Each structure stands twice: as structure tokens, then as C-alpha cells.
Structure 1
């Protein structure tokens, strides 16, 4: 199973409109129905705030909605400690609480995370500035990430 971050499905919706790429969206619907893809409930809520029609498409395809379980909550707290966030003082340039939940859900399910957050190059001194891919790359986290285009390429599907 792979887990979708809101940024990935929003990127897909914006850059591969369903009306122009029906084959892609048919394949994605099948990936969702066969549980190859799932989405954390917090990511689905983010999609709903930004692109209600995309969130509705996900719901119509009966996407598996992964809750924030106790195990995911504990993993999120451990990740929060690993990046040095104290008293919910998240850095505006880094991950936020929802991001930590999304990463934690992927970690708990042993899933790869599809995110379109940009990779950061060069050493970041302040770990609170880490974006999702950098947090996932931390030894304490260990979640594999890819962006939406890499996901399509990895599938080797032709549309």
C-alpha cells in the first residue's frame, strides 16, 4: 500500500485534469479500489478545503481513509520529538501537525508516502524547517517517499 499526501493528489488534479486524462484517473480509481492507495483522514480533509471536487472524487471512489490510530499518534509524537518541536512551536517553513500525522500513518502501515512537497537540498541546521521528504529520510522515521510523477513512472503504465 502507498499513502497519499494532500499535496500529491492536489498536484495530480491540477496538472492532469480528469477531463483531459481519463485513463490516468481510471487507473487511479482502480488503485484506490484495490487498496494500492489510501489516504489519511487529515490529508483528505486538507484536500476538501482546497479542492472540494477532488475530495468528492476520492470519496466516490471509496478511498480507504486511514484514521489517526493510537499507534499513529504515538509515532507522530516521536517524530515531533525527533525534529525538535517543543510546545507545538512548529517552524513556518517546516512540517506542521497534520504533516506529522500523515507521515506517522504511513510509518505505522509500513507504506510509502506519495508527496509533492519539494526535496530540500543542502544541510538544514534547524530540523524544525524540514519538509515531509526530509523528515521521512531521518533515521528515526524511515519512510520512503516519492512524488506523483515518480509514482506514475514506477508503475510503468502508459496512458
Structure 2
């Protein structure tokens, strides 16, 4: 199962228009139907706000939305403390929703699909870590791939 971040879904929607890539979106619909592709509700809400047509498509294709449980919330708080983020003092790294999305993937032992940029040189201060860097921390350990990596690994030909 892959947990999708809003960044990847919006990236896919913007760069692979359904009109030009219908096979890709039919396959994505099947992945959603089979519950192999899911999203935390917070990520879906971001998609629905930034790309309303994509949000409608996801809803019409029965995408499973994962609610934020107490276990997810507690794990997000644990990660927040690991990063040294105090209160609402988020910096240029992950935000509150990002922590919830990472924790959702972690609680479901799932891979996270995120198109947030990878930081080639990690910042000196942990609060400036982006999603891929946080996922790569030993104390977090969530596999994180981009949408393109997700598609390549699926090894599906869209005709």
C-alpha cells in the first residue's frame, strides 16, 4: 500500500492530464479501488483545495481516506519532538500536516509517495528537514518515493 502526499497527487494531476494520459488514471483508479493507494484526509483536503478537479476525481474513484487516529497523532507528536519543533514554531521544513502524513504512513507500515524536494545536503537544523529527510531518519524510517519512482517501479505500460 502507498500513502500519497498531496504534493504527489497534485504533481501527477498537473503533469499527466487525464485527457492525455487516460490509461495512467484508469490504473490509478484501480489502485485506489484495491486500496493499494490511499491518502490521509489532511492530504486529500489539501488536494481538493489546490486542485478541485483532482479532488473530485479522487472522490468519484472511491479513494480511501485515512482519518487521523490517536496513534497517528501521538506518532506525529513524537516526530515533532525528534525534530526539535516547539509549539507552532515550524521553520522551512515539515509542517503539521506533513508530520501527520508521515505518521500515517508509519502507522500503516506503508510507503509514502511524496514529491516534496529531496535535500541533497541535509540542513544543519532538524526543523528544516523536508518530508523525504524526515522519512529517512532512523527514528522514523518510512520508505519515501516520488510519483515517477512509483510509476517506474509499477512497471505498467499505459497505452
TM-score (norm. length: structure 1): 0.98
The corresponding residue for 1:114 is 113
The SS at the match of 1:113 is strand
Partners of 1:54 and 1:3 lie apart in 2 by 16
Shift of residue 123 of structure 1? 3.1
What is residue 136 of structure 1 aligned with on the other side? Answer: 135
Matched, 1:24 2:24: yes
Give me the whole-angstrom Cα distance separating, in 1, the residues matched to 2:99 and 2:58.
22
SS at match of 2:3: strand
| Residue 101, structure 1, aligned to residue 100, structure 2 | yes
State the Cα deviation string for residues 54-104 of structure 1 (Å, max 9, x = none).
00100111101001001100000000001110112000x211000000000
Unaligned runs of 5+ in 1: none
Aligned counterparts of 1:7 and 1:74: Cα–Cα separation in 2 = 23
- Unaligned 5+ runs, structure 2: none
Moved over 2 A (4+): none
The root-mean-square deviation of aligned C-alpha atoms, in Å, is: 0.6
Aligned length: 158
What residue number does 1:157 align with?
156
Q: Which SS does the other structure have where 1:35 is aligned?
A: coil
Deviation at 1:121, TM superposition (A): 1.0
Any idea what SS the aligned residue of 1:85 has? coil
